[in-house]
Structure 1
């Protein structure tokens, strides 16, 4: 198996392992209440009055890093994510959360975080060390076996649980006309994206929805992937989108922008989760995701961006389109030379290029 196909297989399997951890934490009430911890002021996303960091976030991130390192040791140092791996237990003790070499060692480490609760630590450690097979991944397309990738040129961004507030609060709100979820567990995603360090462009992306459907009180997931490099494009999504004049936006989008879109005939859907909103565009449920603010980060968009690129779409900078409408569109890049990882110029995520021309005529007046 070529390196590209091999890496994709690993990312899909570890995304499902991540989904298993997220579901295990969410379905155990006692464990779930134990794990929720409020973020420090330095770590808060400014869009939210309250934001949360959970052990599930940290554990998933470190599990993804660990499993990638087993197969591709050279990638371990280029895996970046939203969370730091230091967690404080109820006694105020700071503990570095990591995946140990054995399930027993991981259990003992997690038990320190959870006040010596061996039972729940064993539950989580068993998920971390579980041998997930490709057939366990709920993906609709067969894995391609014939594409390669330059491992030495890769960087990786991960978001272990995108839309943490929905993960914590639950509840489901759906727009009946479009079927797009406005909030709730369906909006929660695990996001993994690989980009080329030489160009900053995303080339391989995985989106896993741990809470896609609830069957007899058991949550089941869904998973999507995309790969693009030069003229090669492969994806688990093959359905062609139809023009719907639907834009997904955040709940805090600028009033003036919303007004222009409404006047132009767009239906606006305010949904949570950047990863979920981009997935809605990839699946053709919406034409575009528009965000004028700097409230998303590289880990939110790298994986979904690769998926869109595999479908001939992309993610460009919102402010560049508005300020320089006559210039070529500028894709978001993922090489960062600072500690500011936000997409500071906002974003426009699209699947069909023609929508950008439409938006230019609407927004640049």
Structure 2
């Protein structure tokens, strides 16, 4: 098994462990309310008046980091995520959430966060330290045995729970015409993206939807993966799909862009979660996701961008595209020299290049 295949296997198992933790954290509504903490002004997404992190966010991020480090110790410092790992308990004490050497020690640490809720802390710790078998991960396409990745040249971005507000609020609203979920738990994703430090190009991504189906009150998820290098793409999502001119947007999108799309017979759907919106493009449920604002971050886009690249699509910088759509320097990249983690120029996520010609006519004239 090559390092690339081994890494993808680890990321898939880590994503399912993350999904299990996310589901466990929502089982007890009273306890769940104790786990929600408002972010500081420095951490908030400027789009939102309130932005929250949860213990699930922090615990998932640290669990993924921990599991990657076990298999690839050299990647320990190369794993970055949205959340810091400091959480305040109900007594006002700050607790650094780190995965301990065994389940008992992790239980003791989590109990500090959760006002001595030892049984729940033990349950979460058991999920953190449980060995996940690949057969437990819900994906549909066999992993190739020869994925080529140079471990020394990669960095990793994690969004432990993308669309935290929907994770907290729950619920579900569906657009009948497109079948897209506008908000709710279906819009929640776990995102793990791998990029090349030498070029900033995404190369491997895993997207897990922990709350994909609900049967008798029990949630089950689904996972997707994509690999792309030197024009060779492997993906768990099938190719194909005709354009229906469906554009998925954020609720904060400018009326100028909406009017342009409406005038050119696009159906517009406003949905939650950057990860979910990009995934909907990869799955062919939407033709394009357009965001004119710089309100997404590297952890939002690295993983699903890898899926799109493996399918022949990608994510472009919106501002660069409308200024010079024929430039060779439009792709969103992840170079480590930058300290600004936002996709400040906005983005255009697409699966089929034909849609870019339509957008060039609409947006660049």
Question: TM-score scaled to structure 2, two decimals?
Answer: 0.99
Matched, 1:180 2:180: yes
CA displacement, residues 129-188 of structure 1 (integer Å, 9 cap, x when unaligned): 111110000101112112221000000000000000000001100000110000000000
SS at match of 2:68: helix
Q: 1:48 maps to which residue? A: 48
SS at match of 2:19: helix
1:316 Cα deviation from its structure 2 partner: 0.4
CA RMSD of superposed structures (Å)? 0.9
1:338 Cα deviation from its structure 2 partner: 3.6
Q: 2:222 maps to which residue? A: 222
SS at match of 1:158: strand
Q: 1:171 maps to which residue? A: 171
SS at match of 2:70: helix
**Contact kept in structure 2, 1:321 and 1:329, CA below 8 Å:** no
- Matching of residues 97-112 of structure 1 within 5 Å: 97-112=97-112
Structure 2 unaligned regions, length at least 5: none
1:327 Cα deviation from its structure 2 partner: 2.5
Q: 2:304 maps to which residue? A: 304
Matched, 1:14 2:14: yes
Deviates more, 1:319-328 or 1:73-82: 319-328
Q: 1:340 maps to which residue? A: 340
CA–CA distance in 1 between the matches of 2:199 and 2:328? 17
- Matching of residues 1-365 of structure 1 within 5 Å: 1-328=1-328, 330-365=330-365
CA–CA distance in 2 between the matches of 1:338 and 1:203? 19
Dislocated runs of 4+, deviation >2 Å = 325-329, 336-339
CA–CA distance in 2 between the matches of 1:242 and 1:325? 23
CA–CA distance in 2 between the matches of 1:141 and 1:257? 37
CA–CA distance in 1 between the matches of 2:338 and 2:362? 34
**Contact kept in structure 1, 2:313 and 2:352, CA below 8 Å:** yes
CA–CA distance in 2 between the matches of 1:115 and 1:30? 12
CA–CA distance in 1 between the matches of 2:341 and 2:93? 28
**Contact kept in structure 1, 2:183 and 2:271, CA below 8 Å:** yes
CA–CA distance in 2 between the matches of 1:60 and 1:178? 31
CA displacement, residues 298-341 of structure 1 (integer Å, 9 cap, x when unaligned): 00000000010000100000000111234235100112324321
CA–CA distance in 1 between the matches of 2:41 and 2:212? 32
CA–CA distance in 2 between the matches of 1:83 and 1:202? 21
CA displacement, residues 35-78 of structure 1 (integer Å, 9 cap, x when unaligned): 01111111110111111110100000000000000000001100
CA–CA distance in 2 between the matches of 1:335 and 1:219? 37
